[in-house]
Amino acid sequence: MSRLLYKMNSTKTGKDTKLFLHLKKWLEKAVLDYDMIQEGDRLLIGVSGGADSMVLLDLLDSPMLFIPRFSFVAVNIDMGFEPTYRKYEKLEKYFQKNHYHYVMEKTDIGVLSHSDFNRKNPCFLCSRLRRKRIFEIADAEGCNKIAFAHHRDDIIETLLINMFYGREISTMVPNQSIFGGKLHIIRPLAYLKQEVIKKYSKERRLPILKNDCPTSKTSKRIYIKNLLKKLERDNKEIRDNIYKAMSHVKPDYLLPNKEK
């Protein structure tokens, strides 16, 4: 019965293509593998307006085969870069068209983070302030889970960023407990590659918003993306190898911490 209902609903919404079924399969598998969603959970879905977050919202707003029932609120934090009005209006119309419960907030977080006093590390401050506000909204909306649209490539890139610049071996995890377990950050796209996510966003004709951040094309993450592309010329499996290596760690062959 559940499969029949799923097919009827997916046909009704147009979400019945092979690509949709592929993405949905791996989203549900990630959710189940990492125990991301339980019955009655209320999710805050972070929606920047980029392809990744729009696809996450679209997939979570579809009939589930194996995931328990949950509710959600879509949240957009505008960073304050110009021009913002048309983008804000475009995204709000999309939320309203799909009858989403949503929160949209205009801020000066991006502008402040890129001001003269903080030129050395704007991304760190921007991320910190944005997340602080998201946590506050999650509390106000009664959400116990925050769903971000980080995907497989983000996880790989974050490992290298933390190694190259943070002097540690760590990355994003699919299900992260914070504030003593009061809140969880979940990443349902953890198994999906960015290329298929972007392909699906075009197939669904989602209203993707341009990223107006002045450092979006010069950040450390962009450097790592370009580096991986170069490495892939000689080894097409480089990303898969790095991803699999994160779950095949041999502690006995790592250096002990000798710092005081």
Is 45 inside a domain boundary? yes
DSSP string, the chain: -HHHHHHHHHHHHT--SHHHHHHHHHHHHHHHHTT---TTEEEEEE--SSHHHHHHHHHHSS--SSSPPEEEEEEEEE--PSS-HHHHHHHHHHHHHTT--EEEEE--HHHHHTSGGG-S-HHHHHHHHHHHHHHHHHHHTT-SEEE----HHHHHHHHHHHHHHSSS-----SEEEEGGGTEEEE-TTTT--HHHHHHHHHHTT--PPP---TTTTTSHHHHHHHHHHHHHTT-TTHHHHHHHHTTS--GGGS------
Q: What are phi and psi of 162, to 5 degrees?
A: -70, -35
Q: What are phi and psi of 44, to 5 degrees?
A: -100, 120
Residue segments in the chain with a per-residue pLDDT below the cut of 70: 1-14, 80-85, 108-120, 122-123, 213-214, 216, 260
Number of domain units in the chain: 1
Give the domain extent around 86: 11-249
Look at residue 113 in the predicted model and tell me its pLDDT. 63
Is 17 inside a domain boundary? yes
CATH number of the domain that 193 lies in?
3.40.50.620
Look at residue 210 in the predicted model and tell me its pLDDT. 82
Is 1 inside a domain boundary? no
Look at residue 127 in the predicted model and tell me its pLDDT. 78
